[in-house]
Structure 1
Amino acid sequence: MEKSGQPTVFGTRVEPHTVIIARGNDVRHFTVRPWIAAALGSALSALAVGYLLATSYLVLRDDLIGAQTARQARLQQAYEDRISALRAQVDRITSRQLLDQQLVDTKVSELLKRQAQLTSRHGRLEPLLERADTLEDTPSPAQPDARPEIRAGLNDGLPAQVLAFAGATPAVERLNEIWPLHMRGTETPSAADKADRLFATIGKSLQKIEGEQLARIDSLTESAYQTADAIAQAFEAADLPSMDDDFGKSDIGGPLIALDNPSQFDAKMRELDDSLDRLDKMKNTARRLPIANPAPGRSVSSTFGVRRDPLIGTPALHSGMDFRAPQGSPARVTAPGTVVRAGWNGGYGRMVEIDHGNGFSTRYGHLSRIDVKEGQKVSRGDAIGQVGSTGRSTGPHLHYEVRYKGEALNPLRFLKLGKQVGQYL
């Protein structure tokens, strides 16, 4: 055998391993070199590791597959839970928007209903205000006239913000459009909050208009009662005969307080209507009475009652009042009526007698000229003739009489009454 050059370790020669195989007469030998042993060891190690890995995979495969399946199931469950939560949130938001929409629509309907009620009240109140304008030409200084402000407030109706709700856009969009900029903060309020604040402001405005209505009605009612009472007290102080047969027979009264109280506004409207009826009746009564001055600005030369007769000097009843006035001065009617006499009448000279109804009549004597005819309708202040000195007279003057059912009354009582109630007529 040939010697092979083997490496030496620290001067020692290392011989390769030799494997000898003998079988019968055959003998074989193999030399095992180090690299061959290393290769065989590596191969065996690889086979062993592969076998172990394959065995581990086969043993643990079901566990790995189960763990992966469980992880995927957990992810899917979490995803479905998230979707469900988002869906529930969307449903809540949608429900809230629907509730806000219903709330807004409900409040808009209430405001429109209140506006319609105010408009209806305005329609009922306007005739009474016009009637009060006619009966109260000059408002009292203590109670200034507030009718123009009430009419303006009623005609304005609801603010433009409310009218915007009548459109077809959704409630939330409408609120965002009409929500005032100065009321918007860093946090955007919900539609319901916006509606509550906006409707509260509008409700206060409508409540203010209603309060002004009721306050003005109370003011007009009190003024009408006070004026009617003042005229009635003047009548009572003048001790005049009644013009109406039923005047004073129903001496009852008191403030109106409805038992069921269906509507404060309706009750006050009825009370105002009653007060205006009473005032109208008192004014008409006063206007029919001869309370004006037949010779304005002229002095009285002789009063009513017993006096010394100017012609014969004996005591005699003077049935009227004499007004000193120049020849040709106008004699004026003291109340509306109808001329029943217009001509010569004994000691009266040229005389005009006017029937004022309800038993009252007036006479104008010693006229120099008569400018009316019998049956003619005359109004207060009309000139029915000129002052003169005809008949039983000592000089130019106007003889004026007031009679009730033919009986002469003191004209001074009527003149004083006219000064007292003239400011109310």
Structure 2
Amino acid sequence: MKEAGSTVFGRRREPHTVIIARGDDIRHFQVRPWIVALAGSAFAAIAIGYLLATSYLVLRDDLIDATTARQARMQQAYEDRISALRAQVDRITSRQMLDQQLMETRVGELIERQSQLSQRHGRLGPLLDRVEGASTTAAEPTPAVPGQPDLRASLSELGSHDVALAAATQASFSLWSTRTASMTGETPADRADRVFVAINRSLQAIEAEQVTRINALAEDAYETADAISNALDDAGLDIEDDPGKSAMGGPLVPIDTPALFDSKVKDLDEAIDLLDRIKSHARGLPIANPSPGHSISSSFGVRQDPLLGMPAMHSGMDFRAPTGSPARATAGGTVIKAGWNGGYGRMVEVQHANGFSTRYAHLSKILVKEGQAITAGDIVGKVGSSGRSTGPHLHYEVRRDGEALNPVRFIKAGKKVAQYL
């Protein structure tokens, strides 16, 4: 049986037939075009697969080598990057260690400077105590002298600089530590340098101010001692210590700040010593007014005797004062006489330092006893008119080694130096 063939352009075309005979058994197959195409495609695919497999087997080693080389390059790049990062970390760590060492060095320097300032405060403390002690020994507090600095206040201010400096330094460190993490554009070492430079400038300014103030205090102490000495010299009173500075000279040999501070403190200590001696000497002199607020009725020297009317020597001065008014000691000392003494009437005599003595006569009442120690301003008796007297008044004498001296000179000197004592 035959199948109808296909017609191409009007011609009939017979399909391909494959006949297989085996003995009496005969089989035949028709080969269709799509089967041929399919078989060809399969063959082509197998051929291409074979060629690809062969190419892969041939090129596999090259591909593996290329992949291995690429991985090796990538690993080397990673290792190089890791090495660079490690080196950078090492540099940062080294820089941080250097910064830390620098910080520790600078902190040590500041601690040493603060220790020096604390030692200075410790050295200024005794001077402040001495000034306070000197201010409390005066008989009566006196107001500040215009143009004269207050040594006590100045030394206190110098001492307060140390406390303020310690607080400022700690605050600077706190400020530096809080801003270190937030500040950019500079290294920690640069920030530390900037902070330490600022603190060092503050320290140097305070040290310079301390030296300047101490030098000024020493000069003021010498000037005060000079003023007291000159006032006493004008009154004819001897001063054993000469407060005037002797002539000086020599080449300039600069010294460092600690040595300069020690030198200035020593100079100030000597000035205060001298001032203390001058003040102590002045307080031992009978320079106060025995009857403040009362006028003088008769001065020292030759006068007409009020009872006989003839010239006579008046060995003291009289203060016109009502009966019962206080007669005050003009300096500290010891009572050597307290009782009736001829024409003096009731009299008190006080022995002072350096051979000086004072007498308070014509008293209505004596308030001290012989051997009693008194201080300046103590009331030794009450004004009266006992003895050779024409009316109530206070007769006051100043003697040195028994010789009568003019009390006016002492009282005038006392007015001049009272503001310093």
Under TM normalisation by the shorter chain, which class is it? 0.7 to 0.9
1:175, 1:195 within 8 Å by CA — same for their partners in 2?
A: no
SS of corresponding position for 1:233: helix
In structure 2, distance between residues paired with 1:249 and 1:393: 44
Q: How has the CA–CA distance of structure 1 residues 371 and 344 changed in structure 2, closer, same or farther, with 3 Å as cutoff? A: same
In structure 2, distance between residues paired with 1:271 and 1:79: 73
Which residue number in structure 1 is paired with residue 354 of structure 2? 358
Which residue number in structure 2 is paired with residue 88 of structure 1? 87
Which residue number in structure 1 is paired with residue 227 of structure 2? 230
Q: What is the identity, as a one-letter code, of the residue corresponding to 2:232?
A: F
Which residue number in structure 2 is paired with residue 72 of structure 1? 71
Matched, 1:129 2:128: yes
Which residue number in structure 2 is paired with residue 155 of structure 1? 163
Which residue number in structure 1 is paired with residue 246 of structure 2? 252
Q: How has the CA–CA distance of structure 1 residues 212 and 134 changed in structure 2, closer, same or farther, with 3 Å as cutoff? A: farther
Q: How has the CA–CA distance of structure 1 residues 111 and 422 changed in structure 2, closer, same or farther, with 3 Å as cutoff? A: same
TM, length-normalised to structure 2: 0.77
Matched, 1:213 2:207: no
How far did residue 401 of structure 1 move? Answer: 1.4
How far did residue 79 of structure 1 move? Answer: 1.2
In structure 2, distance between residues paired with 1:423 and 1:250: 20
In structure 2, distance between residues paired with 1:325 and 1:175: 71
* 1:312-360 superposed Cα distances (whole Å, 9 cap, x missing partner): 3333322211222223322221111111222333332332221102111
How far did residue 381 of structure 1 move? Answer: 1.4
Which residue number in structure 1 is paired with residue 112 of structure 2? 113
Q: How has the CA–CA distance of structure 1 residues 222 and 359 changed in structure 2, closer, same or farther, with 3 Å as cutoff? A: same
In structure 1, distance between residues paired with 2:200 and 2:385: 74
2:323 corresponds to which of 308, 327, 347: 327
In structure 2, distance between residues paired with 1:314 and 1:161: 82
Which residue number in structure 1 is paired with residue 102 of structure 2? 103
How far did residue 162 of structure 1 move? Answer: 3.0
In structure 2, distance between residues paired with 1:328 and 1:350: 13
In structure 2, distance between residues paired with 1:381 and 1:42: 143
* 1:12-60 superposed Cα distances (whole Å, 9 cap, x missing partner): 99999xxxxxxxxxxxxxxxx9989999999998899788778866776
Q: What is the identity, as a one-letter code, of the residue corresponding to 1:394?
A: T
Q: Superposed, which structure 2 residues align to 1:24-63 within 5 Å? A: 63=62
How far did residue 362 of structure 1 move? Answer: 1.3
Q: How has the CA–CA distance of structure 1 residues 78 and 139 changed in structure 2, closer, same or farther, with 3 Å as cutoff? A: farther
Identity of aligned residues (%): 59
Q: What is the identity, as a one-letter code, of the residue corresponding to 2:163?
A: N
1:179, 1:194 within 8 Å by CA — same for their partners in 2?
A: no
Q: Which of 323-332 and 253-262 deviates more?
A: 253-262
In structure 2, distance between residues paired with 1:208 and 1:315: 71
How many residues end up aligned between the 2 structures?
400
In structure 2, distance between residues paired with 1:161 and 1:251: 40
In structure 2, distance between residues paired with 1:400 and 1:237: 21
In structure 2, distance between residues paired with 1:243 and 1:222: 19
- Which structure 1 segments of 5+ residues have no match? 17-32, 166-173
Q: Which of 349-358 and 391-400 deviates more?
A: 391-400
1:364, 1:399 within 8 Å by CA — same for their partners in 2?
A: yes
Q: What is the identity, as a one-letter code, of the residue corresponding to 1:385?
A: G
Which residue number in structure 1 is paired with residue 364 of structure 2? 368
How far did residue 237 of structure 1 move? Answer: 1.7
Q: What is the identity, as a one-letter code, of the residue corresponding to 1:238?
A: A
1:404 corresponds to which of 400, 406, 410: 400
Which residue number in structure 2 is paired with residue 277 of structure 1? 273
Matched, 1:340 2:307: no
Q: What is the identity, as a one-letter code, of the residue corresponding to 2:226?
A: D
2:217, 2:268 within 8 Å by CA — same for their partners in 1?
A: yes
* 1:301-320 superposed Cα distances (whole Å, 9 cap, x missing partner): 22112222333333332221
In structure 2, distance between residues paired with 1:70 and 1:287: 106
Q: How has the CA–CA distance of structure 1 residues 249 and 71 changed in structure 2, closer, same or farther, with 3 Å as cutoff? A: closer
2:124, 2:159 within 8 Å by CA — same for their partners in 1?
A: no
Q: How has the CA–CA distance of structure 1 residues 419 and 159 changed in structure 2, closer, same or farther, with 3 Å as cutoff? A: closer
In structure 2, distance between residues paired with 1:122 and 1:90: 46
Q: What is the identity, as a one-letter code, of the residue corresponding to 1:344?
A: W
SS of corresponding position for 1:424: coil
Q: Which of 349-358 and 105-114 deviates more?
A: 105-114
In structure 2, distance between residues paired with 1:208 and 1:54: 91
* 1:146-205 superposed Cα distances (whole Å, 9 cap, x missing partner): 45544444335533883897xxxxxxxx878x425xx98673754334434444454455
SS of corresponding position for 1:179: helix
2:226, 2:244 within 8 Å by CA — same for their partners in 1?
A: no
2:229, 2:239 within 8 Å by CA — same for their partners in 1?
A: no
In structure 1, distance between residues paired with 2:203 and 2:380: 56
2:304 corresponds to which of 300, 303, 308: 308
Which residue number in structure 2 is paired with residue 268 of structure 1? 264
Q: How has the CA–CA distance of structure 1 residues 11 and 39 changed in structure 2, closer, same or farther, with 3 Å as cutoff? A: same
Q: How has the CA–CA distance of structure 1 residues 380 and 50 changed in structure 2, closer, same or farther, with 3 Å as cutoff? A: closer
In structure 2, distance between residues paired with 1:302 and 1:348: 15
Q: Which of 396-405 and 74-83 deviates more?
A: 396-405
1:258, 1:267 within 8 Å by CA — same for their partners in 2?
A: no
SS of corresponding position for 2:261: helix
How far did residue 365 of structure 1 move? Answer: 2.3
In structure 1, distance between residues paired with 2:308 and 2:367: 32
Q: What is the identity, as a one-letter code, of the residue corresponding to 1:217?
A: I
Which residue number in structure 2 is paired with residue 26 of structure 1? none
2:366, 2:381 within 8 Å by CA — same for their partners in 1?
A: yes
- Which structure 2 segments of 5+ residues have no match? 16-30, 136-140
Q: How has the CA–CA distance of structure 1 residues 139 and 243 changed in structure 2, closer, same or farther, with 3 Å as cutoff? A: closer
* 1:353-381 superposed Cα distances (whole Å, 9 cap, x missing partner): 21102111112222333222222212111
Q: Over aligned residue pairs, what C-alpha RMSD do you find?
A: 4.1
